[in-house]
Structure 1
Amino acid sequence: MYTLSSKQSIPVYTSERNPEAGNKPFTIVRSEGALVYEEDLLIPHRKAYHLLVFVKHNPGRHWVDMTPYERRDNALYFTAPHQILVKEAPTPFWGTFLTLTDEFLGLEQNASLQDLPLIQNPQNRHELLLTEADAAFVEEMLIKLHTEYYRPGEWQHRMLTGYLTVLLTHLSRLYTEQFNGAETAADKLLLKAYQAKIEEGFREMHEVGQYAALLHISAGHLSEVVKTQSGQPAIKHIHARLVLEARRMLFYTQQSVKEIAFDLGFAEASYFNRFFKRETGHTPAEYRTTIRKMYQ
């Protein structure tokens, strides 16, 4: 699998790379055997949007962060903007992919979509297996979406929102059925807001108090609520996000430990080494060696 050199940053691809759909907040493209922009997907990258891919047939393997997925027929694969993705080899693709930006999900008429389990992904899963009946339903809705997408007019946006709501709601029901019904509860709004702020600022801000100030509450109150709602101290959420990003960079890039430390906001590489070992049980160098040996 391709890894980036120490001088290469992880590229972020926008939907404008899709020549058929253009740079839009919502896109849908169907394929019957090819994707014309496949090559760049063979290097580790991020996408600046939520990606949902309905696979009718697409042999091969891809990675989401450090997890490999052997693609199956009649399955849905889905990822969020911050994750690192890579395919191992170019392969012909039969199916449909759909992209949604955070800006699209943030529109008032789409507000209900961003709280769906498939979008929130509380179980951090990226593969949804479909029965024959579910695959047929998903295919039918995607055909309706695709047809409406290329039918501009006064009612187009309402129709797209309606079809998309039905599709994502159906997939979210399947998500909760496959992953133990773990829907995001309404009483976890503060936890969600805290995690969203961490996602925005984890490289620069490593203290709970900094996020409490952004949320206009006291650090003590934030810590109490987060511990109650998640079972973990608030600081652990920050540390977990730093460790995740460090693991991504150690696995997918050739950046030195010092470079990774500075990128993640640590003033000293030695402190980053101690932090990573305390959180994972391994030094960064040990983790990089071990994880790469596992997947050679």
Structure 2
Amino acid sequence: MPVLTAPEKNVIPTFTLQQNSGRGNTMIDVREAGGQCGEFRLDPAFLQPHRKDYYFFVLVKSGDNRHWIDFVPYTVKPNTFYFTVPQQIHLKEHSAPMEGLMMSFTNEFLQLEDNRILQQLPIIQNPAAAHEIQLSPADLTFVEDTMRKMLIEFNADGTWRNQMLTSWLRVLVIYLSRLYSEQYNETCVTLNYCLLKSFQALIGEHYATQHDVAAYAEKLNLTPGHFTEVIKQQSGKTAIAHIHERLIVEAKRRLLHTELSVKQIADELGFEDAAYFNRFFKRLTDTTPIAFRMEIREMYS
């Protein structure tokens, strides 16, 4: 496994699947962790705040690692399935032995024509910002069996390898999406729901440069009135609230994980000046950026 570059204190790095796998240009990676003697060894860079630009699925058989996803701490439980989506901030508190199966795949894989329908699945969209799925004994058997089939195929490098991996991956994400829907009460996918997810994806791309609802409506070829009506109907929140929430999340990420000044964070997020950013942050969180930084770091420590 290649050594990743540890982050600078004012930069939250994004690691690619190619960096992590060491196999060159790949869209799917499958690993097994076998405790202290397993083939997978955590790179020290992953003990620092970082993002992944790929989807990361883990079936934990045993282990008690503690880690953070954005601002939520998790203690890993045996026989539980964990997952993350690109751009969330990961932070492991320590590296400890773990047994389980790990699978990663890229957004590039989801962009392939035959896989685009997978983009609408609940576990890919992750509207509940969830991170773990509870498994019944039957679920555990099915998920482990599917991931082991993928691991064998991944390591065999045989004929039709990519097609087999893709087929098993489709089965796995559909099965897990069923469990996601049951455990997080996810609604059925409709055209209007897809519009909401497209809007949220656009916010993810443009939050630092575009704060205006009308601009997003234009990108989606809709009138601002119809656009705002659909977003409110689908989510119960206004379109501007979605934009503001993403700005707050990104501000909190930088306040917790970097030493950037409030002015520097305001500049990175596209605010005209630090004073306006301070007022914006306090209006939405009932606290100032500096007070939040002190509180969240005290909680983490």
TM norm structure 2? 0.91
1:113-141: CA deviation from partner (whole Å, max 9, x where unpaired): 22111111111110112122211211110
Measured at CA, do residues 64 and 183 of structure 1 come closer, stay the same or move farther in structure 2, by a change above 3 Å?
farther
Shift of 1:21: 4.4
- Structure 2 counterpart of 1:42: 47
Aligned counterpart in structure 2 of residue 208 of structure 1, from 208, 213, 216: 213
- Structure 1 counterpart of 2:157: 152
Aligned residues: 293
- Structure 1 counterpart of 2:297: 292
Residues in 1 aligned to 2:106 and 2:293: alpha-carbon distance in whole angstroms: 32
1:139-190: CA deviation from partner (whole Å, max 9, x where unpaired): 1101111111233355323322221121111111111122234444443121
Aligned counterpart in structure 2 of residue 128 of structure 1, from 105, 125, 133: 133
TM norm structure 1? 0.93
Measured at CA, do residues 182 and 124 of structure 1 come closer, stay the same or move farther in structure 2, by a change above 3 Å?
farther
1:82-138: CA deviation from partner (whole Å, max 9, x where unpaired): 110010001122111111111101111112222111111111110112122211211
What does 1:158-237 align with in structure 2 at a 5 Å threshold? 158-237=163-242
1:98 aligns with 2:103: yes
- Structure 2 counterpart of 1:116: 121
1:269 aligns with 2:271: no
Equivalent residue letter for 1:217: L
Which segments of 5 or more consecutive residues in structure 1 lack a partner in the other structure? none
Percent sequence identity over matched residues? 45
Residues in 2 aligned to 1:8 and 1:290: alpha-carbon distance in whole angstroms: 19
Q: Is the 8 A contact 1:117 1:183 kept in 2?
A: no
Local SS of the residue matching 2:49: coil
Aligned counterpart in structure 2 of residue 26 of structure 1, from 15, 25, 28: 28
Q: Is the 8 A contact 2:278 2:288 kept in 1?
A: yes
Residues in 2 aligned to 1:83 and 1:181: alpha-carbon distance in whole angstroms: 20
Local SS of the residue matching 1:217: coil
Q: Is the 8 A contact 2:192 2:230 kept in 1?
A: no
Instruction: Could you list the structure 1 runs, at least 4 aligned residues long, displaced by more than 6 angstroms after superposition.
Output: none
- Structure 1 counterpart of 2:11: 9
Measured at CA, do residues 19 and 195 of structure 1 come closer, stay the same or move farther in structure 2, by a change above 3 Å?
closer
Q: Is the 8 A contact 2:58 2:103 kept in 1?
A: yes
Which segments of 5 or more consecutive residues in structure 2 lack a partner in the other structure? 1-6
Q: Is the 8 A contact 1:208 1:235 kept in 2?
A: yes
Local SS of the residue matching 1:18: helix
- Structure 1 counterpart of 2:253: 248
Give RMSD over aligned pairs: 1.9
